[in-house]
């Protein structure tokens, strides 16, 4: 499966300090080349320091960060990006995302997406995209920016929230889906169906889940602090599931959304 960025990426939400540094060191050692952070995570400085201390050159690392929803007014957005770059100690990010659409369209989408494109034109972001955009919002975004500008829509996808309608819409628009919380904050490890499939393949339920997403053409950014899990997650891409396995996992969808803050958009019906 071909993606417009290295897959999997290392998600860094809720990681900081030495824990984050060790996770990044482990990820880079085992072949990861995509690191995902955000302004909201409060760890951009730690991510930047870990990259600077690594033996892997910055030019080989695909770095993603995201603009928080309270900084979408165009001048604020651009200022926030400069602040992110300073914390990350880099001249550019490889992917810059709008973390959440503006609540209740307080800032018009055209305004903040135009500012996002300006950041790309300036060279401070090599690629741009969105996160947590619904079907309607994604269509509007493509209408504003044109085809081939939005690299990804980063959304919650895991066996218990398969988000099929939105995933299919992204596919039709030629936009890669990146799944955050792909392991449903560890819940996949307790699922009986995933355990059975994992046993048959000599794998873990987490590996089965990442392989399932990969076979659907969905990139992932799992987070982990343990080296064995970080290694296991990247090795999952070598696993091939059968049609029966894929069908069994498709039956696990129960619309269980984990990330749904009060400023979230009105989610699509599945």
Binding site for substrate, by residue number, is 99
1 pLDDT higher than 90? no
pLDDT in tens, 139-168: 999 999 999 999 999 999 999 999 999 999
* Average pLDDT of the chain, as a whole number: 97
What is the CATH topology of the domain spanning 10-250? Answer: TIM Barrel (3.20.20)
Residues in the chain: 270
Confidence band of 269 (pLDDT split at 50, 70, 90): confident
Which residues carry out catalysis? 41
Q: What is the DSSP string of 62-89?
A: EEEEEE-GGG-SHHHHHHHHHHHHHHHT
d(CA 99, CA 93): 15
Q: With pLDDT > 90 as the criterion, what percentage of the chain qualifies?
A: 99
**Domains of the chain by residue range:** 10-250
The pLDDT tens digits of the residues spanning 192-209 come to 999 999 999 999 999 999
Q: What is the pLDDT of residues 102-150, one digit of tens each?
A: 999 999 999 999 999 999 999 999 999 999 999 999 999 999 999 999 9
Q: Which tens digits make up the pLDDT trace of 24-44?
A: 999 999 999 999 999 999 999
- Summarised one tens digit per residue, pLDDT across range 194-249 is 999 999 999 999 999 999 999 999 999 999 999 999 999 999 999 999 999 999 99
Residue with the two structure tokens 């400023």? 263
pTM of the predicted model as reported, rounded to 2 decimal places:
0.97
pLDDT band at 46 (very low <50, low <70, confident <90, very high): very high
CA distance 118 to 58: 23
Structure tokens at 230: 């970080």
Q: Express each pLDDT in 47-61 by its tens digit.
A: 999 999 999 999 999
């Amino acid at each position: 499966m071909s993606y417009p960025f290295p897959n999997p990426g290392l998600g860094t939400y809720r990681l900081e300090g030495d824990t984050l540094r060790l996770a990044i060191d482990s990820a880079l050692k085992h072949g990861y080349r995509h690191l995902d952070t955000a302004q909201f995570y409060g760890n951009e400085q730690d991510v930047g320091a870990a990259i600077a201390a690594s033996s892997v050159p910055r030019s080989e690392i695909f770095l993603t960060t995201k603009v928080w929803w309270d900084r979408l007014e165009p001048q604020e957005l651009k200022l926030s990006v400069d602040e992110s770059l300073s914390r990350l100690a880099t001249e550019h990010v490889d992917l810059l995302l709008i973390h959440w659409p503006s609540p209740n369209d307080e800032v018009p989408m055209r305004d903040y997406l135009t500012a996002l494109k300006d950041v790309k034109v300036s060279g401070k972001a090599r690629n741009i995209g969105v996160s947590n955009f619904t079907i309607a919002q994604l269509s509007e975004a493509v209408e504003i920016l044109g085809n081939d500008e939005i690299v990804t829509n980063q959304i919650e996808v895991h066996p218990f929230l398969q988000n099929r309608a939105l995933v299919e819409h992204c596919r039709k628009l030629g936009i890669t889906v990146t799944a955050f919380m792909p392991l449903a904050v560890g819940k996949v490890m307790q699922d009986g169906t995933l355990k059975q499939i994992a046993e048959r393949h000599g794998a873990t339920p987490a590996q089965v889940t990442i392989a399932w997403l990969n076979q659907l053409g969905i990139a992932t950014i799992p987070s982990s602090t343990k080296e064995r899990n970080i290694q296991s997650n990247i090795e999952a891409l070598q696993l091939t599931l059968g049609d029966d396995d894929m069908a069994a996992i498709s039956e696990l969808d129960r619309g269980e959304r984990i990330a749904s803050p009060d400023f979230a958009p009105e989610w699509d019906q599945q």
